[in-house]
Amino acid sequence: MEGKVFKQIANKGYPTTFLRDYKPENKEDKKPTDPEDGNGYSADINEVLRNLNVRYKRTVDDNWVATRESGDTIRLSGVKLEKGLVPDVRGMSLRDAIYLLENYGLSVRFSGKGRVLRQSPEHGARYFEGSTVSLEMNM
């Protein structure tokens, strides 16, 4: 019987604290407003912003976008992609960065978790197919 209970607990991920018990240390932490800026696949970003009722404006109709705050609105602008040059994946999730880089014929090595903080070689550098791009991730 004990094994079943532990398995249920492990499979469910029960919370250990309640959100109502959270007391922010800074006044700025009291109320989250907009999600953090992030770059990535435009359909995913559009869906998140729409579901959170965040005002946003698309300035391009590209598949890959960068987000920037502009007052109370998030602006979506295109990420410049050019064959033969390493794309800028900073601010993207690991999933989006790997997808984009591997479709350009690049191998990916990463450390950490979260969003891409740094990349090497830098975006805009020339590359050969099969070259490796190293990503440093950060929450």
pLDDT band at residue 133 using 50, 70 and 90 as cut-offs: very high
pTM: 0.67
Tokens in use for 34?
A: 């907009």
Q: Which domains does the chain have, with CATH numbers?
A: 82-139 (3.30.10.20)
Contacts of 92 (CB under 8 A, 6+ apart): 38, 39, 40, 100, 115, 116
Report the SS3 class of residue 12. helix
pLDDT in tens, 77-130: 888 888 899 999 999 999 999 999 999 999 999 999 989 999 999 999 999 888
H or E element at residue 115: strand 115-120
Report the SS3 class of residue 19. helix
Distance between alpha carbon 110 and the CA centroid of its chain, in Å?
Answer: 14
